[in-house]
Amino acid sequence: MAVVPGWLAGDELSDLQDEFEGAFAAAKGTELETLTPEGKDISQRYGQSRTGLHLKYNHGDELKQALPRTHEIFTQEWMASVASSYLGLPCTLNRHLILTDDFKPDKEITWYHFDEIGALKFLVYLDDVDRDNGPFQAIPGTTSATSRLRESEWLTFDDFRKIRIDVFDQHSEELFHTLYGQYKSFLLSRALTFQAPAGSLLVFDTDTIHRAGPLAEGRRRRVVRGSSYRGYWP
């Protein structure tokens, strides 16, 4: 995991915020895809989340035409270098870009989880984020064991909708101790909370157990995140 506080500022941050607001304004009134019965978000463009809304864009011309400044920021050469160094070649930089607007209060925006498909994520806060508006939280040292768990889930189910990503509620204490060498409560006590100003960048492996934390009444959290994958993705 890496954090760059205040990575974007001034006009760059304003441009990203303006395109974010414009994208959601344009989507308003169009078909809104709902969560699956398992609570998973598999929408292709404009979707509902547990605490708000999100928009999803594919990389390339689609993103460039819809959000040119965002496209420019998330296709920088150094990002491609980081992704290829970490994931190996070939890899696909920021295959999907997702804008999330969280505004409905809840004890957590997302539960502690891993992503169904392993990725390296670049995530930018568009708001100042503290403990009460959905801070990114992660448990260091869990990446390798979680990767094995994710692969086991795919070998068992071979179905995106059935992969059990909710690690603390969907897996046993015994499995936790077998994989991580610790029981759930001890592992959870090691979680880190990333409070940072608007424009801050977080980079992390999605096999690291992570979540977006609590969202208090009257608070908002806007985030743009891109997912980079091993191999070529269309």
Query: Taking the chain, what is the end-to-end CA distance rounded to the nearest angstrom?
Result: 27
- Integer Cα distance of 55 and 46 in angstroms: 5
Is 56 inside any structural domain? yes
Q: Count up the domains in the chain and report the number.
A: 1
Q: Would residue 64 count as lying in a domain?
A: yes
153 inside domain: no
pTM to 2 decimals?
0.95
Structural domain span for residue 72: 2-136+195-226
Strands (E), 151-220: 192-194, 201-205, 210-212
Is 8 part of a structural domain of the chain? yes
The verdict on residue 157 lying in a domain is no
Q: Look at residues 233, 227, 232, 230 and name the one whose alpha carbon lies nearest to residue 99.
A: 227
Sheet containing strand 221-230, edge to edge, reads 2-4, 201-205, 120-125, 221-230, 91-102, 52-58, 46-48
Q: pLDDT tens-digit profile of 2-40?
A: 999 999 999 999 999 999 999 999 999 999 999 887 777
Q: Does residue 156 belong to any structural domain of this protein?
A: no
Q: How far apart are CA 167 and CA 188, in angstroms?
A: 11
Q: How far apart are CA 109 and CA 53, in angstroms?
A: 11
Residue 141 lies in a domain: no
pLDDT at 121 (0 to 100): 99
The whole-angstrom separation of Cα 41 and Cα 161 is 9
Task: Kindly state the percentage of the chain with pLDDT values over 90.
Answer: 94
234 residues of the chain, pLDDT tens digit each: 999 999 999 999 999 999 999 999 999 999 999 988 777 777 889 999 999 999 999 999 999 999 999 999 999 999 999 999 999 999 999 999 999 999 999 999 999 999 999 999 999 999 999 999 999 999 999 999 999 999 999 999 999 999 999 999 999 999 999 999 999 999 999 999 999 999 999 999 999 999 999 999 999 999 999 999 999 998
Q: Please report, for the domain that includes residue 19, its CATH number.
A: 2.60.120.620
Q: Does a structural domain hold residue 218?
A: yes
Average of per-residue pLDDT values in the chain: 96
